[in-house]
Amino acid sequence: MIKFNPQNPLDALEAWLDTYLNFEKMPKKDFFWLDTMQFLCKKCNNPQNTFQSIHVAGSKGKGSVSTFIASILTEAAIDCGLYTSPHLRAFSERVTKSHAVLDDSIYANAYKELSYTIDSIIPKTYPNQREPSWFELATLFAFISFKEAGFPWAVLETGLGGRLDATNVILPAASVITEIELEHQEYLGNTVEAITREKAGIIKKGIPVFCSSTEAIACAVFKAEAKKKDADYFHLDDFIDKVQYSYHEDKMKIEASMPELFSRPLKASLQLLGAYQVRNALLASLVVKKILPQISQRQIETGLENAFIPGRFQIIKKTKQNPLIVADGAHTKKSISHCLSTLQELFLSAPKKDSSKQRVEPRFSLLFACAMDKDVEAIAHLLVESKLFTRIFLTKPGAVKQTNLEKANEAFEKAVNAEMLQGSRYGSSKNSSENQIEKSEVKPAFFLIESYEEAMEKAFQEALKQDEILVVTGSFYLVSELHSFLANSIRSSSNSA
């Protein structure tokens, strides 16, 4: 039995959860079904039915859309739970209300109810005698926490896929599906269509469906499934007449004409950056306005502005201990592409403040790591082809997530060699000077460092010395370790002061 401390219930919860199989840390095929989750919910008197919910799935953007929606509801004075994954530093990030963790008493009561119920179940009575997984129990903990908090609403993000995801025991007020791409192919299928069908599994009979995918085949599948389930289908692009955005320091101003929903253009200054976040914000606005029309446009705009998630193109300001950092948990080809586009738009395409002075373009270093199941060859090609990085540090994504550092190194070497074969992209620059480097012609320096802590230390030192922006990407686990590293650096600095 795990020792319970009511002053810090989540410590006990995590220790207890870690006695069960954690798919996030140890992936396993053929490990998805709903009968166990349905069995568990029934044992706990179906806590998921005590609140109205919005269900969000997709390959990319589902966490951001979930956060935008919860933030809007909070701005409209609607108490709303928010369940997302993964977390960067603390488990409490997964089970929250918008902008804040819950009271310890709520976590404590939810943990006691959950652990008592599970510990009282005879293992052989589970469906097919399968004990629950870490994620199933974490999801059930969220349901119970939201019931304990008395929330009338909750926004729930799927973990993986949709059809057999542990969250798919709810009957939501809306099913929301974001962008689709090839991901987790060994579990969801090898084609966009196969993955789309897994995501479409959250569509319920008579429940409205909201979609923002730009993949034609995905939209066709969602639309057909909605028709089959007699569910209204809404695609974001059908509601946008015109949209524009621009960057102002560390914010992104958006303006969108959506006349069917709003009498004037929707305007907001977002903390979440990138063109893809424009679509995420507008999808959240569409969902809220359709299912809760009483929420005003101004409440929606303010809710969008208040939304923030660490680790999604997060800009961490420069200090004496660390360089200017862009931390982005991007880990697929499309999300890495979005990250690179945002870097270009934010740092390299901004207008000069003083046209009389020659602009010195910023330079970038890259700290990269990815999990073993990612398409590292395609990602490496994108990163090298961008010609943004003068230094590339390759490492592991942390102590837990499985990776293949040798394969990553080979992928980056192959990408550089391919660029060299295409012509004089890399080599000595005829026009470069001491103060300016032609990024298109500089071959990046590579550092292969197995220890992620040593890699961060080296990357910090080099970026500070060279006055470069450090981009940390490839894995949420790496970004999580970055946040821990920064916190430890701050504590060390405080102790030595």
Tens-digit pLDDT profile for residues 90-115:
999 999 998 799 999 999 999 999 99
Residue 491 confidence (pLDDT) above 80: no
**CA–CA distance, 361 with 356 (Å, rounded to integer):** 15
pLDDT above 70: percentage of residues in the chain:
86
**CA–CA distance, 219 with 236 (Å, rounded to integer):** 11
**CA–CA distance, 459 with 479 (Å, rounded to integer):** 14
Question: How confident is the model over 443-482, as pLDDT tens digits?
Answer: 899 999 999 999 999 999 999 999 999 999 999 999 999 9
Q: What is the pLDDT of residue 24?
A: 58
Check residues 333 and 99 and name the one with the higher pLDDT.
Answer: 333
Check residues 26 and 66 and name the one with the higher pLDDT.
Answer: 66
Check residues 324 and 349 and name the one with the higher pLDDT.
Answer: 324
Q: What is the pLDDT of residue 409?
A: 94
How far apart, in Å, do the first and last CA atoms of the chain sit? 42
> Band of the pLDDT at 118, cuts 50, 70, 90?
very high
Q: What is the pLDDT of residue 493?
A: 57
Residue 429 confidence (pLDDT) above 80: no
Q: What is the pLDDT of residue 188?
A: 58
> Band of the pLDDT at 28, cuts 50, 70, 90?
low
Burial class (CB in 10 A: 0-12, 13-18, 19+), 205: exposed
Residue 414 confidence (pLDDT) above 70: yes
Closest CA relative to residue 210, chosen from 56, 82, 52: 56
Beta bridge mates, 468: none
> Band of the pLDDT at 233, cuts 50, 70, 90?
very high
Section 384-413 average pLDDT: 92
Check residues 191 and 366 and name the one with the higher pLDDT.
Answer: 366
Report long-range pairs for 28-35 (Cβ below 8 Å, ≥24 apart).
29/186, 29/187, 31/133, 32/160, 32/161, 32/164, 32/165, 32/187, 33/127, 33/130, 33/164, 34/164, 34/166, 34/168, 34/169, 35/127, 35/128
Q: What is the pLDDT of residue 60?
A: 86
> Band of the pLDDT at 219, cuts 50, 70, 90?
very high
Average pLDDT of every residue of the chain = 88
pLDDT above 90: percentage of residues in the chain:
71
Residue 26 confidence (pLDDT) above 90: no
The answer to whether 60 and 335 have CB atoms below 8 angstroms apart is: yes
**CA–CA distance, 484 with 497 (Å, rounded to integer):** 20
Residue 93, token pair as written in the block: 């990030």
Name, in order, each residue with C-beta under 8 angstroms of 118's C-beta and a sequence gap of 6 or more. 40, 132, 137
Residue 204 confidence (pLDDT) above 90: yes
Phi and psi at 141, nearest 5°, equal -60, -40
**CA–CA distance, 39 with 244 (Å, rounded to integer):** 48
Residue 174 confidence (pLDDT) above 90: yes
Residue 317 confidence (pLDDT) above 90: yes
Check residues 207 and 192 and name the one with the higher pLDDT.
Answer: 207
> Band of the pLDDT at 193, cuts 50, 70, 90?
confident
> Band of the pLDDT at 359, cuts 50, 70, 90?
low
Q: What is the pLDDT of residue 349?
A: 78
Residue 122 confidence (pLDDT) above 80: yes
Domains of the chain with CATH codes: 9-306 (3.40.1190.10), 314-496 (3.90.190.20)
The answer to whether 195 and 188 have CB atoms below 8 angstroms apart is: yes
How many Cα atoms sit within 13 Å of 359 on the Cβ side? 12
Q: What is the pLDDT of residue 434?
A: 38
Sheet holding 242-248, edge to edge: 242-248, 251-257, 266-270
Residue 117 confidence (pLDDT) above 50: yes
